[in-house]
Amino acid sequence: MPHKSISISTDAIVRIIVILLLIGFLYLIKDVLALLFIAVILSSAFGPFIDWLQEKKIPRGVGIIGVYLIFFFVVGGAIYLLIDPITLQIKDLARAFPDFYDKISSGLQYLQKVDSQEAAKTLSTSLSDLTKSLSQASSSIYNLVTSIFGGVVSFFVLLVITFYLTVEKNSLKNFVQSIVPFHHQKYAADLITKIQHRMGFWLRGQLILSFIIFLLIYLGLSLLGIKYALILALLAGIFEIVPFLGPLIAAIPGIFFAFAQSPAKAIAVIVLYIVVQQIENNIIVPKVMGKSTGLNPLVVILSILIGMRIAGVVGALVAVPIAAAAAVYVETLHNKSKATK
């Protein structure tokens, strides 16, 4: 059998090296890319409203500044209204947590005597770890905020980038058209329009969804007489932006503090979170979100895990819209191939 040699041209080797270097460079600037992508999402969400203002003879720049002022007014007002009750609840939680810990530890000791000794021991160890984590809560919250916004400077850079992406209508579309060959420009423009529409719809729907979940959880926990209902509801609203995994993570502290009050309340809180989840999945999401991403739930979960592995919290937050943009690209390719047949 004759020996076949495989030859690789110098040009192919150079291309492979260039591609690898490009991938490495993109990985090094992943934080900058995440910031830029968040700006694109914000611009996509603001776009329709700014277009509407422009139709009313309001300049786009003035409209964007107005949106920013409304944003700061709403956030500032919310902080002003919530900061005192949240501070009081955090102080109360810090004072009461040792008592909560003793109550749950006593319950676990009882479980050890009755049955499932190893399981109770594991739960006790986990509880001890949770105590250590809660003692570092302030630094953890700070790290979370700085990782999302990249610090105050990055936050304002984000606002500036969003401004320039939005102040000129179709700026992103025009930029993409300027860097692609002429015969692909129409396809690229249509693709960008679809991606921006889907990402903007996703963000607007996600914010509305988070607010609704915050209200439902707060009302439910308050009616059940659960302490720290405001903090727990805020956690539920914030984690709602992470699909599937977020609500599960947000439910854990609520169940924990309810169990510290009484096992019956813990069961009631579990039922509350399940009911809210069912209302969300079957009523709120179809009305508010529709099929905003068009993604399979498994794809969403994998996207979040991959995004978190690559870029931490920021990666998890932008993973779903990135996957949605990729899905739009695949859909357009599929439709294009069907049209040519």
Phi and psi based region of residue 9 (left: phi greater than 0; alpha: psi -120 to 50; beta: remaining) = beta
DSSP state of 242: S
Exposed e or buried b for every residue in 249-273, given b needs 16+ CB within 10 A?
ebbebbbbbbbbbeeebbebbeebb
Backbone Cα Rg of the chain: 25
Please list the pLDDT of the chain residue by residue as tens digits (341 residues): 555 555 666 777 777 888 888 888 888 888 788 888 888 888 888 888 888 888 888 888 888 898 889 888 887 887 777 777 767 766 776 676 666 666 655 655 554 554 445 544 554 555 555 555 544 544 555 455 555 545 677 778 888 888 888 888 778 888 877 777 777 778 888 888 888 888 888 888 888 888 999 999 999 999 999 888 888 898 899 888 877 778 888 898 888 888 878 888 889 999 999 999 888 878 887 777 655 666 777 777 788 888 888 877 777 778 888 888 888 888 887 777 666 66
Kindly compute the dihedral angle of the four CA atoms of residues 275, 281, 285, 287, in this order, to the nearest 10 degrees.
-80
Burial of 233 (0-12, 13-18, 19+ CB in 10 A): buried
Is residue 227 a contact partner of residue 257, using CB atoms and an 8 Å limit?
A: yes
pLDDT of residue 216: 94
Q: Is residue 114 part of a domain?
A: yes
Q: What is the pLDDT of residue 341?
A: 62
Asked whether residue 10 is assigned to any structural domain, the reply reads: no
Within-domain flag for 323: yes
Residue 32 near residue 191, CB atoms below 8 Å: no
User: What's the token pair of residue 65?
Assistant: 């500044």
pLDDT tens, position by position, 134-161: 445 445 554 555 555 456 777 788 888 8
Q: Tell me if 18 is assigned to some domain.
A: no
Burial of residue 47 (CB within 10 Å: 0-12, 13-18, 19+) is buried
CB proximity list for 130: less than 8 A, separation 6 or greater = 256
Q: How far apart are CA 208 and CA 185, in angstroms?
A: 35
What's the predicted TM-score (pTM) here? 0.67
In a domain, 265, yes or no: yes
pLDDT at 222 (0 to 100): 92
d(C-alpha 277, C-alpha 161), whole Å? 36
H-state helical runs in 225-243? 229-239
Contact (Cβ atoms closer than 8 angstroms) between residue 127 and residue 252? no
In a domain, 148, yes or no: yes
Q: What tokens does 210 get?
A: 């988070």
* Structural domain total, the chain: 1
Give the residue numbers spanning the domain of 94.
30-336
- Let me know if residue 60 belongs to a domain: yes
Has residue 341 been placed in a domain? no
Please list the helix, strand and coil fractions of the chain in percent, rounded to the nearest 5, in that order: 90, 0, 10
Residue 89 has which token pair?
């609840």
In the prediction, which pLDDT does 111 show? 47
pLDDT given at position 271:
94
